[in-house]
Amino acid sequence: MMIAFRVRFGVSAKKRLGQGVRCGRVFAGAAVAAMILALGGAPGARAAGLKDISVGAFRADVTRLQSVVAGCAAAAAACNADTVGDDVLVGDRAKGGFEEHWQWLRATLDKAKTAKAEERATLLREAEAQLAELTQESAAGPDAQQTKDFSRAREEANAALSRAEFQRGGGPTWWDRTKARMIAWVGRFFEGVVQVGSAAPWLGTLLEWLFFVGAAVGLLFFLLRNLARQRLRVSLEDAALRTTAWDSEAEDWAQWAEEHAAAGEWREAVHCLYWAAIVSLEARRAWRHNPTRTPREYVRLLKPGSAQQQGLRSLTQIFERIWYGLREADAEEYAEARALYERLAAGAAEAEERTASGAGKTLSAGGVD
């Protein structure tokens, strides 16, 4: 079988790939040389049908062939394949020599002789380009070409090494080593899980159930906690409304006391001040509402020794002397009762503010607006 190929030695792999088009146009004139090499012939043996020439003679031959191609481009009658000459062996194969088979050029001239002008021009331009490439290669020589390829590879490597990822000096940082240890630990952990799962297949199902049950318990806890916060918020709002109503009633009792005092009715004025104090303390949840209590029971419901208990005890003593002792009061006793009432009301208000502030912090910490 006639096989189209072209054998080149001492040329880089990249250059041989670039000459693939030229190899496709060469016929089996060099098949005999390939068979000799395949049968174990010496690398330096002369291939049959090849003419031994030097590199200088090869350059002269290429120049002559360029003239032949130029003449063919000028006139179709000058396209004569016989003017190409024999295939050649340039130099010694052992020292980087190579074979050059001109069958591709002969075929190009034969085709150009009968082709139309436009097609002939295209064929001959390709032939001229290949001959020019051969001239450059023969002028550079194998060593120069290898040096050129090495320089290009060195430039590409330098460009790659100049990128930012290769510019960091020193070894890995503490954080890099920590991340590497963490990743290695996670890898060992999952390897252990896989091994355990293989030894105990039921473990995967158990872990799934534990995960789902834990998620359900967490969701239930979250819902119950939110409901408790909402109930606390509602209760505080209701307490605030009740406090507002009780405050209004306490203010009414204080207003009535002022009206009786303005009319000189000191006994009624002290009575109104006493109940204004009781209502004010009850509004601050000092005790639960129970209208059946006696004055001294109200005193005992307060914290023993507290300022509220002492103030209410003093006010209760004045009230009992005047109201239950059937004594007439005077402006001095009313003024004393008024001062006690105002201190009790102010202290109850401060206690209420502290309680509301603590409840507000609890709601804020729980995420309730």
pLDDT in tens, 196-226: 767 777 777 887 899 899 999 999 998 898 8
What are the backbone angles phi and psi of residue 88, rounded to the nearest 5°? -130, 155
Q: Are 281 and 287 in contact (CB under 8 A)?
A: yes
The model's pLDDT over 147-196, given as tens digits with 9 standing for 90+, comes to 666 677 878 887 877 777 666 655 678 888 899 999 999 888 878 777 77
Closest to 277 in 3D by CA, of 335, 339, 219, 194: 339
Neighbours of 122 (CB within 10 A): 13
Query: Which architecture characterizes domain 238-365 according to CATH?
Result: Up-down Bundle (1.20)
H or E stretch at 98: strand 98-100
**Is the Cβ–Cβ distance between 87 and 50 less than 8 Å?**
yes
What local confidence, expressed as pLDDT, does residue 239 receive? 55
- Tokens 């000189």 belong to 264
Q: Range(s) for CATH 1.20.120.330 in the chain?
A: 238-365
Could you tell me the pTM of the whole model?
0.35
Cβ-based burial of 117 (10 A; exposed 0-12, middle 13-18, buried ≥19): exposed
Dump pLDDT digits (tens) for 101-114. 999 999 999 998 89
| Helices (H), ranges, 162-201 | 174-199
Residue 186 to residue 189: CA distance in whole angstroms: 5
SS3 212: helix
Q: Rounded to an integer, what distance in angstroms lies between the CA atom of residue 99 and that of residue 50?
A: 8
Per the CB < 8 A criterion, the answer to whether 315 and 345 are in contact is no
Q: How far apart are CA 16 and CA 10, in angstroms?
A: 10
* Cα–Cα distance, 87 to 31 (Å, whole number): 13
Give the residue ranges of the chain where pLDDT is below 70: 1-48, 96, 140-150, 165-171, 197, 233-243, 245-246, 348-369
